[in-house]
C-alpha cells in the first residue's frame, strides 16, 4: 500500500509563489535600512530576533541526543553560514537587488561542484555543462572589463560559495538528524558565530532599524515555512520554475521603490544561471538524487 501523500501541484506552486514574495520582502527592509549598521551586527540582530520564532523547537533539540561529531558539523555549518549572511547583508546595501538575487543563484551551482569534490557525487557531462552555463551567467552579470565590479559584487560571489558549503554540511546532517532540528540549530549557531563580529564594531541601532531587522527575521522564517509546505505538496521539478519570478520581482522592486536602473545583462545572466540550476534539479529528480538545493534554500 502506498503511504505517500497525494501530489498537489497547484498547491505547491501557490506556496512557492508565496515563498518568493516572503524572500523578496527580506531584501526590502535591509535595502531601506541602508549601510549605517555594520553587516555583521545587522546579520546578528536578524538571527537573534529570529530565535524567538524557534522557541517551540527547543524541546526537539534537547531530545535529539546529538553526538560530538554532529555538534562539530553544526558548528562548521554555522561558521560557513555566518560568513555568507554577513556578505549578503554587505552586498544588499551596496549593489542593486537584482544583482544580489541573480548572483545568489550561483550557490546551487557551487553545491554541485562541491558534492563531486567532497561527497563523491559523479559529475556527469550534462552536469558539467550546466555548471559551465551557470558560470557563464555569472560572467554576463559581472562583465569584468566592461563594468565596475564592486566590493558588493565580490561579496555576493563569495557569499554564494560559503552558502554552498553550508548546504553541503546540511546534506550530511539530513541523513542523521530531523530537518526541523537542522533548521533550528542553524539559527542558534549562526547567532553565536555572528556575535563576535557584531560586538567588534557595535553601533546602537535605532528603533526603526530594529523594526526593519525584525521584519527581515519574520519574513525569512515565514519563507522557509511556506517553502516546506510547497515541497510537501509537489515535487521540486514543479515548484523550481516558480523561482524564476523572484528575479523579475527583485528587478521591479529595485526599479520602482529604490530607483535602481534595470540592467538587462543582469536579468539575462540571472536567467542563464537559474536555467542551469533548474536543469540540474530536474535531472537529479529524474535520477532520484537530492544534492542540489533549490535557489531559495540558501537564503538568509
Looking up cell 515541497, which residue turns up?
231
**Residue 123 belongs to a domain:** yes
**Residue 145 belongs to a domain:** yes
**Residue 165 belongs to a domain:** yes
The reported pLDDT for the residue numbered 1 is 45
**Residue 3 belongs to a domain:** no
Tens-binned pLDDT, residue by residue, of the chain (300 aa):
445 556 778 888 898 899 889 988 999 999 999 999 999 999 999 999 988 888 777 777 778 888 999 999 999 999 999 999 999 999 999 999 999 999 988 888 888 888 888 877 777 787 888 889 989 999 999 988 778 889 999 999 999 999 999 989 988 887 888 877 888 888 899 999 999 999 999 999 999 999 999 999 999 888 888 887 887 787 766 777 787 788 888 999 999 999 999 999 999 999 999 888 888 777 766 665 555 555 555 556
- 275: containing domain: 9-298
Residues 6+ apart with CB under 8 A from 17: 242, 245
**Residue 4 belongs to a domain:** no
**Residue 60 belongs to a domain:** yes
The reported pLDDT for the residue numbered 76 is 95
The reported pLDDT for the residue numbered 109 is 87
- Reduced to 3 states (helix: H, G, I; strand: E, B; else coil), residue 147 is strand
Count of domains observed in the chain: 1
CA distance 36 to 207: 14
**Residue 1 belongs to a domain:** no
Taking phi over 0 as left and psi of -120 to 50 as alpha, with beta for the rest, 122 belongs to beta
Residues 6+ apart with CB under 8 A from 2: none
Residue 99 · residue 266 · CB < 8 Å? yes
The reported pLDDT for the residue numbered 98 is 93
**Residue 2 belongs to a domain:** no
> What's the pTM value of the predicted model, to 2 decimals?
0.85
- Residue 144's DSSP bridge partners are 147
The reported pLDDT for the residue numbered 5 is 57
Amino acid at each position: 500500500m502506498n503511504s505517500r501523500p497525494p501530489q498537489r501541484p497547484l498547491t505547491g506552486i501557490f506556496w512557492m509563489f508565496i515563498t518568493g514574495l516572503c524572500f523578496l520582502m527580506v531584501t526590502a527592509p535591509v535595502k531601506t535600512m541602508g549601510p549605517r549598521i555594520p553587516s555583521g551586527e545587522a546579520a546578528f540582530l536578524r538571527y537573534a530576533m529570529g530565535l524567538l520564532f524557534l522557541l517551540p523547537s527547543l524541546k526537539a533539540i534537547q531530545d535529539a541526543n546529538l553526538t560530538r561529531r554532529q555538534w562539530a558539523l553544526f558548528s562548521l555549518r554555522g561558521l560557513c553560514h555566518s560568513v555568507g549572511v554577513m556578505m549578503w547583508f554587505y552586498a544588499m546595501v551596496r549593489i542593486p537587488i537584482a544583482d544580489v538575487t541573480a548572483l545568489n543563484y550561483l550557490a546551487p551551482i557551487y553545491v554541485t561542484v562541491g558534492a563531486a569534490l567532497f561527497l563523491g557525487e559523479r559529475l556527469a557531462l550534462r552536469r558539467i555543462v550546466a555548471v559551465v552555463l551557470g558560470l557563464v551567467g555569472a560572467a554576463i552579470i559581472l562583465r569584468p572589463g566592461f563594468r565596475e565590479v564592486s566590493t558588493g559584487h565580490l561579496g555576493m560571489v563569495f557569499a554564494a560559495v560559503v552558502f554552498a558549503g553550508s548546504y553541503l554540511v546540511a546534506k550530511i546532517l539530513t541523513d542523521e538528524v530531523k530537518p526541523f532540528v537542522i533548521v533550528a540549530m542553524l539559527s542558534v549557531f549562526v547567532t553565536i558565530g555572528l556575535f563576535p563580529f557584531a560586538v567588534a564594531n557595535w553601533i546602537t541601532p535605532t528603533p526603526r532599524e530594529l523594526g526593519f531587522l525584525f521584519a527581515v527575521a519574520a519574513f525569512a522564517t515565514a519563507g522557509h515555512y511556506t517553502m516546506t509546505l510547497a515541497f510537501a505538496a509537489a515535487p521540486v521539478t514543479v515548484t523550481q520554475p516558480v523561482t524564476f519570478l523572484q528575479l523579475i520581482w527583485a528587478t521591479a522592486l529595485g526599479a520602482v521603490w529604490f530607483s535602481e536602473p534595470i540592467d538587462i545583462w543582469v536579468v539575462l545572466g540571472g536567467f542563464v544561471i537559474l536555467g542551469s540550476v533548474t536543469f540540474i534539479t530536474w535531472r537529479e529528480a529524474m535520477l532520484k538524487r537530492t544534492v542540489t538545493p533549490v535557489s531559495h534554500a540558501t537564503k538568509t
